[in-house]
């Protein structure tokens, strides 16, 4: 903790003291990964601009076809410098020789656990669903009307370790995902697996295919927007509506607030 505090300016310390304890913990987690360099500052500016463009883009996608979305404030939380994740992981969460969506989701869950839920963190494993996305939609969301949450990962993102470990596996976010959401995962680090996702989406309700395809095409310009958690709700047996989303730069508190708002929409 002493090292984290020493990295912050006096003005930032005063601001942190005014915030609640949860907010401070979130900032400390992210501040631990900071690098004070001009390159990092330039990366922050680039990422901020990309996020603004992406937020505008998502709103335009969500409003097509009569879909309306509430205005959200304070979309992304940034500490005083950009966040730099740890060293690139050796292999993706889904290998390039994956033969099916079923095998891919199984591999994703296994690799995710090995990477982020070891050393006493087994209880923090997210409730990932195994199998095709269409079967998950039909079997798990239609009956009790739980929201569908798609977790889309990319190891090329600067947030590839911070978001899954500190946000997705945080107790506040996990509690909501386990109780009110159906969570389906995929990894698009490798192009072959991105194409497999596109093929899977073609079998799903048109709205989910349209939104996810458009999002992936847009973020190709800045991979640091990954990972995504995109939430949909069932409108009827054949129709889904995008409710909201998070990006890799979200804090645990912000992600939890987003999920709560998705439950109310």
DSSP string, 163-177: IIIIIITSHHHHHHH
* Closest alpha carbon to 66 in 209, 230, 235: 235
Q: What percent of the chain has pLDDT over 70?
A: 64
Read off the tokens for 65: 């076809």
What does the pLDDT look like over 70-107, one tens digit per residue?
333 333 433 333 333 333 457 899 999 999 999 999 99
* 85 Cβ neighbours under 8 A, 6+ residues apart: 33, 157, 158, 159, 160, 161, 162
How many alpha carbons fall within 13 Å on the CB side of residue 242? 28
Contact assessment for residue 162 and residue 33, using Cβ atoms and an 8 Å cutoff:
yes
Residue 246 has pLDDT above 60, yes or no: yes
Split at pLDDT 50, 70, 90, the class of 249 is very high
Q: What does the pLDDT read at residue 144?
A: 66
Q: Which residues of 116-149 are buried (b: 16+ CB within 10 A; e: fewer)?
A: bbeeeeeebebebbbbbbbebbeebbeeeebbbb
DSSP 161: T
Rounded Cα distance between 28 and 24, Å, is 6
Lowest pLDDT segment from 25-29, 106-110, 154-158: 25-29
pLDDT single digits (tens) 134-146: 999 888 766 667 8
User: What is the pLDDT at residue 146?
Assistant: 86
Question: Pairing mode, if any, of strands 181-187 and 239-246?
Answer: unpaired
User: What's the DSSP call for residue 66?
Assistant: G
Of the listed ranges 61-65, 107-111, 192-196, 238-242, the one predicted with least confidence: 61-65
pLDDT for 47 equals 57
Please compute the mean of the pLDDT values over residues 194-206 and round it to a whole number. Answer: 93
Least confident among 39-48, 111-120, 238-247: 39-48
Tens digits of per-residue pLDDT, 102-126? Answer: 999 999 999 999 999 998 899 999 9
**Would you say 109 and 130 are in contact if contact means Cβ atoms under 8 Å apart?**
yes
Look at residue 172 and tell me whether its pLDDT is greater than 90.
yes
Whether residue 231 contacts residue 149, with contact meaning beta carbons closer than 8 Å, is answered with yes
Mean local confidence (pLDDT), 232-250: 88
CA distance 50 to 58: 12
Whether domain 89-264 has CATH 3.10.580.10: no
Q: Where are the domains of the chain?
A: 2-31, 89-264
Averaged pLDDT for residues 163-177? 97
Query: Is pTM, for the whole model, over 0.75?
Result: no
Report the pLDDT averaged over residues 175-198: 96
Res 88: pLDDT: 42
Residue 85's SS3 state is coil
> Is 180 a residue whose pLDDT tops 60?
yes
Mean pLDDT of the chain, nearest integer: 77
* Residues 235 and 142 sit within 8 Å (Cβ to Cβ): no
pLDDT surpassing 60 at residue 255: yes
Contacts of 263 (CB under 8 A, 6+ apart): 147, 176, 180
């Amino acid at each position: 903790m002493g090292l984290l505090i020493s990295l912050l300016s006096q003005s930032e310390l005063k601001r942190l003291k005014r915030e609640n304890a949860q907010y401070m913990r979130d900032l400390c987690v992210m501040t631990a990964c900071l690098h004070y360099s001009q390159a990092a500052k330039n990366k922050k500016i680039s990422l901020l601009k990309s996020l603004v463009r992406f937020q505008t883009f998502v709103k335009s996608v969500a409003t097509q076809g009569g879909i309306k979305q509430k205005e959200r404030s304070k979309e992304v939380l940034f500490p005083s410098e950009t966040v730099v994740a740890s060293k690139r992981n050796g292999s993706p969460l889904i290998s390039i020789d994956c033969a099916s969506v079923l095998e891919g989701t199984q591999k994703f869950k296994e690799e995710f656990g090995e990477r982020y839920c070891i050393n006493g963190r087994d209880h923090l494993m997210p409730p990932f669903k195994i199998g095709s996305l269409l079967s998950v939609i039909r079997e798990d969301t239609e009956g009790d009307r739980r929201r569908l949450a798609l977790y889309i990962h990319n190891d090329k993102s600067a947030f590839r370790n911070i978001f899954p470990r500190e946000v997705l596996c945080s107790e506040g976010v996990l509690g909501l995902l386990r109780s009110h959401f159906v969570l389906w995962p995929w990894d698009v680090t490798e192009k072959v697996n991105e194409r497999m996702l596109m093929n899977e989406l073609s079998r799903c309700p048109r709205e989910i295919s349209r939104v996810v395809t458009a999002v992936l095409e847009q973020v190709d310009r800045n991979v640091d927007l990954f990972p995504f958690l995109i939430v949909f709700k069932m409108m009827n047996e054949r129709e889904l509506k995008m409710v909201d989303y998070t990006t890799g730069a979200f804090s645990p508190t912000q992600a939890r607030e987003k999920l709560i708002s998705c439950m109310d929409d």
